[in-house]
Each structure stands twice: as structure tokens, then as C-alpha cells.
Structure 1
Amino acid sequence: MTERSADGRANRPPDIHAVARHAGVSHQTVSRVLNESPRVRPATRERVREAMRVLGYTPNVAARTLITRRSRTLGLVVLNEELYGPASALRHVEQDSRSAGYGLRILNLPPMARSTLREAVESLRQQLVDAVIVVDPHPEDQPLLGPLPSDLPLVTVGGLRSAGVPSVSYDSGPGVRQAVQYLLGLGHRTVHHIAGPAGWAEADIRRSVWERTLEQAGREVPAPIEGDWTARSGHAAGLALAGRDDVTAVFCANDQMALGLFHALAERGVRTPEDVSVVGFDDVPDAAYYRPALTTLRQDFAELGRHTVRLALRQIETGTREGVESVTLAPPSLILRASTAPPA
């Protein structure tokens, strides 16, 4: 609230002196609370924060940034936000950033030229963000990140690891292996694959593990059909597979392509799972409501958000990327639903 004079006229908004009077502390103590100084007892810190809430005190962020050299803002570069994986990463990083008391500045970029990622990071740095997080960088872009100044807190999420850059990585391989082995265990002679676009780290990993699992089982490795993560590309692949007697099981590199496959098979009179079993990847919120409900692999994006923000805050605290260990997430879980069955 705004302080008022004795005659009821509005005064200027409350400052730290008003907060100090309300909390019964010195203005130096209020300043220490604002600057996150450890030299304040928890009970006093909470009393000051309560006074700020009651008075409606808003810190002068610009002034505090000049003093502390911290903006309490994280910068986030997201590639292909329309895809479920990057969008989920963004959502959970944003939630955990806010829980830690940090705002977020987001640059949402499409697949880009190699120079653009460097420009995006530099743009966020000029906006005085305290750390930069890059979600799912393309493998060709990642060598550009390592040479950035070591005093710039930086985290990559997904993709390949870059030397000298802390990262949070998916471990999708064990999940893909489990999915392919599950389909073989149902009695399918082999498993076809609708892959993500070549050159994307996760697409390449899922394709190579699918291939290696079939080879280790002594099964034929069919030629994969490359998609682009969209349901449209899954539909096109499904039209190519529908009606082939040798196709009884398909592993899709994501759920959107599995949805397109469902529609193509249905259009050609091919039943799922009676004629063709289908497994996806991601467990999008609608996967349980596909027709039939989709068997798929689920990743823990909440865990991803926690680790990503923790790595960023660790670098902010220490002032360097050195000694900050990268994290590999737990493998995805296989969620069994109605889209898989033994072959007819």
C-alpha cells in the first residue's frame, strides 16, 4: 500500500526506511535482506519480507542490479518450443526458477544458423541475466557454447554435451531398448521405426539404440522412415507402412508421429493393435486418450527442471562453470496401454 499523510493525501511509495520502521529493524537490515545476505537471522528475514508484503514495497531492481551485479533473472533459449519435449522443459524450468526467486527471459527460436545461437546467448548476456539456459541445442551449434567466457553461468538441456558446459542430459537409450525388447517379447519378428530428423541428437540416439537392439537380438533391421516430429510426417510414414504383411510393430520416435501413424493405419483399414502394435515416446498428456491409448515412454521433466535450475544457481553462487558437474536424468519409463499386443 502507499503511505498517506495526516490529511489523507497519498505520499510517495514506501521505501526501505518505511519497511524498516514497520519491521522494527534498521534500514541496513532491510538492505541485507534485499541483497540476500546470509548475515540476517531467518526470523528477522521473514519479518522484513512480511513488512514488504504489507506495505506493498517494490524493490528498485535496476538499482539493486548495479549494486549486487545480479538481476535475479535467468535467460532461456528454446529451440522448437512447439514440440512437446522443449515445451515441457521450458515449463518446468520456469516453475523452478520462480520457486527459487528468479524471473525468466525467454528467446524462442526456430532451427537456426550456427551464428544465431551465439547471438541469442550474447543478447541475453547484454540484458544482464544471471545465467543462460539453452534447451535442445542442435549438435552443430554446441561447439559454439564451450568457448563462451567461463564466468558466464551456462547450462544446456538435452542434445550432446559440450566440453566445459554443465548440462542436463536425457538417458533415452535404456527406455528405447526396453520398448523394442517388449515388442519382440510379445512375439513380433522385428520392429519398424519412424525416426526423428537426422542430425538431432535425440533422434539419432533413439534410432541407433533401436537398430542395435534388433541386431543384438538377431532380428532383421528394417530401413527406418524419417519424420520431422510432426503428426503429418507420421501419417505419411504410416501410409507407406500400411498393408505390408511384414509390418506388425512400429516404434515411433515421439508421440505426435505415432498419432499420425494411427490415422494412416485406420484410413487403410489396418487395426491397432490387432494388426500393428505401436509404441511412442514422450507420453504427451493426450497419449492416454488416443484411440487406442498409446503405449509410450515417459520422461521426468519435473526432475529436468529441478536439476537445470540447480546447476544454474550453483554457477551464479561460485562465479564459474568449473567444478559444476553435469547431470544425466533417469531413463524413461515404459507406460503400457492398449496400442500393443502379440501379433495375430
Structure 2
Amino acid sequence: MRKRAAGGGVPREPGMADVARVAGVSAQTVSRTLSGHPNVQQKTRAKVLAAVEQLGYRKNNAARTLSSGRSRTIGVVTLQTNSSSRTALTFGIEGAARAAGYAVSTATAASLDTHAIEEAMSRLADQRVEGVILAVPLIHVSRKIEQLTRSVPTITIDGSRTPDTEVVAVDQTLAARLATRHLLELGHETVWHVSGPTEWLDAASRCSGWRDTLEAAGATVPPVLEGDWSPASGYRNGLILGKIPDVTAVFVASDEMAFGVIRALHELGRRVPEDISVVGVDDIALAEYCSPSLTTVAQPFAEMGTLAVSHLLRHIADPEAAPDPASVEPALIVRASTAPAA
């Protein structure tokens, strides 16, 4: 429970004195309890821990936070991955935060498991970050995550949310529509799709946009092939697609997977784009230098980072304000990997 500072502005974090008052004990007893002192009665320990939970109190490990109550640090929760798109997004966040006078502390989650995300968020909260940007999808929102997002201003950037988070997202459905419509307008009778993992909201939205666009055009909707964002998964699916004679166009849910698809098609003797056109998503730096250069739907990572930091700082200044979702439009970048149907 964050207390409103005198005169408004950034809420004051609950301190040890607040815990002592709620628990009905001394500040020294609170200190002993939190440090694991053996001479604290079990009943007293339970009262102190209940007050800690009620207030959302966390240990303060930074001396400057002790003196000022402000850490001037924001946290970022991201997946443990070497994905170029995630790296580009983190760079965008760091640049915008630095320009605003804030440091960035990153906590990686080993998986999308709820416990892994809880642990990453808790690490940041224990560092007394003033706000958190969640760069991972919230598949399941646990009670612990809801408590953390209530106590620390939080922005999500993939479309998922809790009642206390603010959303900044790219319109992934539009990204899929741009890619699929481009291929249909080139004369391809239908478009196959290599999706990202189904648990990612980005992947689900792109799949939905692809399917809706085909159905609206009266085109056949082929079965979806699922990848895991890696070039290797794109390669595996490319080996499947390359052996299906009717395939002439493929929409791949990420550039890195598209690289794998193109490699597999080359090995099978299927020419890109003469035999099969390929479109990716992201427009990472390597997309322009792929052979052939990759047609893709650009996601404005720098703009996303700047927008997320801007929303987070506003949320920090006024945590009680109603969430104000923001959506960024992607853009189709046409290069050499697409061509009219043969």
C-alpha cells in the first residue's frame, strides 16, 4: 500500500515504522523479524509478516534510497533469450530511460512460467525500482503478480495486462494483415503461415490477423506450422513447406524464423521469390542483408521503448490515474523476397 506523498506526486513507499505501527510492535522488532533474529516469538513474527504483506513493504538495499526515497531506476522483465528483437527493444528502453535521468535494471525470466516471472519481478521490487516494464506475455496472472503490479507501477508491452498495468503495444493483428494482403495482392491464391509459440500473445494476434485476411479474401486457410522464434524452427518448417508443391507464399511470424525458412527452401531447390515468396516480421538489422533481402513488417522498437518509458514515468508520477493504453502501427517494408505469383 503506497502512501501518497504530501502535496501529491510520487507516492511514498511504506517504511519500517509503518510496518511497526500496523503490527503493533516496535521498529526494532520489525528489524529483528526481517533479519531472521531467533529471539522473535512466532506470534510476533506472524504479525510483522502480515503487516509487511498488507503494506507491500520491501527491504531497502540502496543507501541513496534510504536518504531520498527515490531510486531513479526502472526495471525491465524480459525472457532469457538471444533474440535480436528483444535486444533491440531493451536498447530502446535504456536510451529513453537514460534521457529521462533514470537507470535501468533488467531481470531475465528463464521461461514464461508464472513462478519465473514472479521471481523476476520480485528481484526488481527488492531493488526499489520505481516502476517496471514487462517485456514478456502474462499467460497466467497469479495473485503474487497482481500484488506486485499494485505496489509497483507497471507497463506491459505485448498486449497482456492485469487490472493495475498500463499497456503499450504494437498492433500485431495489423502486422499480419499487411503481410498477408501484400502476398495476396501479388496474385498468390493463398498464404501459408509459420507462427510463433501459441502462448505468446504476439504470435496469437499475428495468426488471427493472417486467418481473418485470408477468410475476408475468400482464400483457403492452410494449416498453421508452429515455430519457437528461432531460425532452427524456421528451418524445420521450411523443409516441410518446400516439399508441398502448392506452396507459393509464406508469412513467417519473425525475421529470424524467416531466415531459417529461406535456408531450407534453398536447400530443397525452391527459389525465393521465383517459386515461393516469403514475408517476415520485425525488420531486424539483418533482414536487409539476407539473400534475398527480406520483405518484412517493421516493428518500431526504438519508438516502443520510448513510449513505454514515457507511460511508465507518467504512471509513477500518478499511480492512481486510469490506465491509458497506447498502440503503435507497424509498417510493411517491401524487399526482394516477394514477387508476383508464377
TM-score (norm 1): 0.78
- Cα drift, residue 321 of structure 1: 4.5
Structure 2 match to 1:15: none
- Where does structure 2 lack aligned partners over 5 or more consecutive residues? 1-60
Written as runs of structure 1 = structure 2, the 5 A alignment for 1:193-208 is 193-208=193-208
Paired with 2:144 and 2:200, the residues of 1 have a C-alpha distance of 16
Higher mean Cα deviation, 253-262 or 67-76? 67-76
Preserved CA contact (<8 Å) 2:62 2:127: no
Contact 1:159 1:200 in 2 (8 A): no
Aligned to 1:34: none
Is 1:143–1:162's contact at 8 Å kept on the other side of the alignment?
no
Distance apart, 1:88 and its partner CA: 1.7
Is 1:142–1:162's contact at 8 Å kept on the other side of the alignment? no
1:45-65 CA-to-partner distances (Å, cap 9, x unmatched) read xxxxxxxxxxxxxxxx95542
Q: How far apart in 2 are the matches of 1:262 and 1:93?
A: 31
> Pairwise mapping of residues 288-307 of structure 1 onto structure 2 (< 5 A)?
288-307=288-307
- Give the equivalent residue in structure 2 for 1:332: 330
1:127 is matched with: 127
Equivalent residue number for residue 22 of structure 2:
none
How far off is 1:141 after superposition? 4.3
Partner of 2:66: 66
Q: 1:267 to 1:156 in 2, by over 3 A?
A: same
- Structure 2 CA distance, aligned partners of 1:142 and 1:112? 13
Match of 2:321 in 1: 322
CA deviation after TM superposition for structure 1 residue 127, in Å: 1.3
Is the 8 Å Cα contact of residues 157 and 168 (structure 1) preserved in structure 2?
yes
Identical-pair percentage:
41
Number of residues of Structure 1 aligned to a counterpart in Structure 2? 283
Contact kept, 8 Å, 1:249 with 1:277, in 2: the verdict is yes
Are 1:79 and 1:137, in contact at CA under 8 Å, matched by a contact in 2?
no
Matched, 1:264 2:292: no
Change (3 A) 1:249 1:142: farther
Higher mean C-alpha displacement, 127-136 vs 143-152: 143-152
Matches within 5 A, 1:181-220: 181-220=181-220
Distance 2:134 2:165 in 1: 11
User: Which structure's CA Rg is the greater one?
Assistant: 1
Write the distance in 2 (CA, Å) between the matches of 1:142 and 1:300: 30
Please tell me the residue identity of whatever aligns with 2:163: A
Distance in 2 (alpha carbons) for counterparts of 1:143 and 1:210: 34
Deviation digits for residues 322-343 of structure 1 (CA, Å, limit 9, x no counterpart): 32412212x2100000011111
When the two structures are superposed, what TM-score results if normalisation uses the length of structure 2? 0.78
CA distance in 2, matches of 1:148, 1:89: 23
* Greater displacement, 293-302 / 320-329: 320-329
Q: Residue in 2 aligned with 1:234? A: 234
Please list the CA deviations of residues 57-110 of structure 1 after superposition, one character each: whole Å capped at 9, or x if unmatched. Answer: xxxx95542232101111111114422332222111011111111111111222
Q: Deviations over 1:108-130 (max 9, x none)?
A: 22214312212221221111111
Work out whether residues 164 and 321 of structure 1, in 8 Å CA contact, stay in contact via their aligned partners in 2: no
SS state at 2:266 partner: helix
Q: Deviations over 1:181-220 (max 9, x none)?
A: 1111111000001111111101111111111111111110
The code of the aligned residue for 1:173 comes to T
